[in-house]
């Protein structure tokens, strides 16, 4: 009966695949109207310097408040937007929105740096022949400083894609920094990494979660951090949820941390409050 249970599960899985494909079409249609109807907004998750404890940047994360279905996760709708091509306009809107909302934040504390912003760039966007021009045009229009912008791309967007790599190189020549998102979960070889135009490795949440469980877990995170040091890259760890993870990553030499331990993704107003609180003299960060 093990076999029967297996095939039963398989049948259910198939049905849900078909349901999801039908639902994808509905979502793709709804997404076309989401932007003009004001259903999209951006939230900001702080990134904290692991040595000083100070916030130094934020990742912009897209949210969709659907009129009848309520909040839909980007894990669900980004792949749909990617396939329909809607991500091209939406992605540039996220960039513009982030730069505009960043510009009105309270001034950094004396001697402090302005906030840097990290924006996700989907593989589909990176394949657009006009992407470099489009991003520079947004920066120009809103007066954004390219040196304060990081673009996050996944490894899968880069494997053997010479056009995409050329685009990243061009963006980098304008002072924009490139991060590899979810590093370690994709397919790129380490050899390949030395040839990529990148500045930052984002250690995937799954490796951070392993820090608590096994010595092998910290060996993996440690290896990524040492690799990035050799390649003169900086490291951002994502999904830090415990003090223990933060302490261990600091010990391993990780530069920056992002996760629920510090803050969940915040509205612009809550992000401004977070920065104000962090700038108080008694705020130690940890
Ligand atoms: P990502 O770029 O890897 O973003 C990090 C995700 O981890 C976010 O999920 C964030 O809320 C979540 N996270 C951060 N800290 C913690 C933690 O301590 N614990 C846990 N459990 N989760 C944490 P979110 O906002 O649901 O976004 C999911 C993915 O959707 C993103 O993964 C990114 O791939 C995609 N995405 C979101 N916004 C955009 C966008 O504007 N453009 C594109 N192309 N993709 C986006
Ligand atoms: Mg990201
Ligand atoms: Mg990530
Ligand atoms: Mg991730």
Indicate which atom in ligand 1 lies nearest the CA of residue 43.
25
Determine if ligand 1 sits within 6 Å of the CB of residue 89: no
How do residues 21-44 score in pLDDT, each as one tens digit? 889 999 999 999 999 999 999 999
What six digits make up the tokens of 249? 């990553």
Mean pLDDT of 194-223: 88
How do residues 142-171 score in pLDDT, each as one tens digit? 999 999 999 999 988 777 678 899 999 999
- Pocket test of ligand 1: the residue of 120, 185, 244 to mutate, having most ligand atoms within 8 Å of its CB, is 120
Determine if ligand 1 sits within 6 Å of the CB of residue 265: yes
Determine if ligand 1 sits within 6 Å of the CB of residue 260: yes
Average pLDDT of the chain is: 90
Asked whether 171 and 132 are in contact (CB, 8 A), the reply is yes
| Nearest CA-CA partner of 89 in 38, 48, 125 | 125
CA of 27 to the centre of ligand 4 (A): 23
Q: What percent of the chain has pLDDT over 70?
A: 91
Determine if ligand 1 sits within 6 Å of the CB of residue 238: yes
| Dihedral in degrees, nearest 10, Cα atoms 54, 116, 120, 202 | -40
Look at residue 234 and tell me whether its pLDDT is greater than 80. yes
Helix, strand, coil shares, percent, the chain, to 5: 50, 20, 30
Look at residue 225 and tell me whether its pLDDT is greater than 60. yes
| Nearest CA-CA partner of 64 in 89, 21, 22, 27 | 27
* DSSP code, position 115: P
Name the residue with tokens 């700038």. 279
Q: For residue 233, give every residue at least 6 positions away whose Cβ sits within 8 Å of its Cβ, in sequence order, or none.
A: 198, 199, 200, 201
* DSSP code, position 183: E
What six digits make up the tokens of 71? 């909040």
Tallying the residues shown for the chain, one arrives at 286
Output the pLDDT for position 16: 77
Look at residue 2 and tell me whether its pLDDT is greater than 50. no
Determine if ligand 1 sits within 6 Å of the CB of residue 96: no
Question: For residue 43, what is the enclosing H or E element?
Answer: strand 40-49
User: Which position has the higher pLDDT, 163 or 121?
Assistant: 121
Mean pLDDT of 70-90: 97
CA of 256 to the centre of ligand 4 (A): 15
Determine if ligand 1 sits within 6 Å of the CB of residue 120: yes
User: Which position has the higher pLDDT, 4 or 84?
Assistant: 84
How do residues 269-286 score in pLDDT, each as one tens digit? 999 999 999 988 766 555
In this structure, which residue's CA is closest to atom 44 in ligand 1? Answer: 122
Asked whether 120 and 154 are in contact (CB, 8 A), the reply is no
Look at residue 120 and tell me whether its pLDDT is greater than 50. yes
E-state strands within 97-176: 116-120, 149-154
Determine if ligand 1 sits within 6 Å of the CB of residue 94: yes
CA of 153 to the centre of ligand 1 (A): 12
In this structure, which residue's CA is closest to atom 7 in ligand 1? Answer: 239
Please name which ligand lies nearest the alpha carbon of 257.
1
Determine if ligand 1 sits within 6 Å of the CB of residue 191: no
User: Which position has the higher pLDDT, 39 or 219?
Assistant: 39
Output the pLDDT for position 21: 85
Output the pLDDT for position 215: 79
Q: What percent of the chain has pLDDT over 90?
A: 72
Look at residue 97 and tell me whether its pLDDT is greater than 80. yes
In this structure, which residue's CA is closest to atom 23 in ligand 1? Answer: 239
In this structure, which residue's CA is closest to atom 20 in ligand 1? Answer: 239
């Amino acid at each position: 009966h093990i076999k029967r249970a297996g095939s039963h599960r398989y049948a259910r899985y198939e049905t849900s695949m078909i349901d999801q494909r039908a639902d994808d079409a509905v979502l793709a249609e709804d997404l076309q109207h989401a932007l003009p109807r004001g259903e999209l907004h951006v939230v900001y998750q702080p990134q904290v310097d692991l040595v000083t404890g100070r916030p130094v940047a934020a990742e912009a994360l897209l949210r969709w408040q659907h009129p009848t279905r309520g909040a839909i996760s980007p894990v669900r709708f980004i792949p749909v937007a990617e396939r329909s091509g809607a991500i091209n306009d939406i992605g540039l809107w996220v960039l513009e929105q982030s730069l505009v909302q960043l510009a009105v934040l309270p001034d950094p504390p004396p001697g402090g740096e302005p906030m840097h912003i990290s924006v996700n760039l989907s593989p589909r966007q990176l394949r657009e022949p006009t992407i470099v021009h489009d991003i520079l045009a947004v920066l120009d229009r809103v007066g954004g400083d390219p040196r304060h912008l990081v673009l996050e791309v996944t490894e899968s967007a880069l494997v053997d894609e010479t056009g995409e790599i050329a685009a990243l190189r061009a963006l980098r020549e304008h002072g924009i920094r490139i991060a590899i998102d979810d590093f370690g979960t994709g397919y790129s070889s380490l050899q390949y990494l030395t040839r990529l135009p990148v500045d930052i490795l984002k250690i995937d949440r799954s490796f951070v979660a392993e820090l608590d469980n096994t010595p092998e877990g910290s060996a993996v995170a440690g290896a990524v951090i040492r690799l990035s040091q050799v390649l003169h890259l900086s490291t951002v760890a994502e999904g830090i949820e415990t003090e223990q993870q933060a302490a261990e990553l600091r010990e391993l030499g990780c530069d920056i941390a992002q996760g629920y331990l510090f803050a969940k993704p915040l509205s612009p107003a809550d992000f401004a409050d977070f920065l104000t609180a962090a700038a108080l003299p008694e705020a130690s960060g940890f």
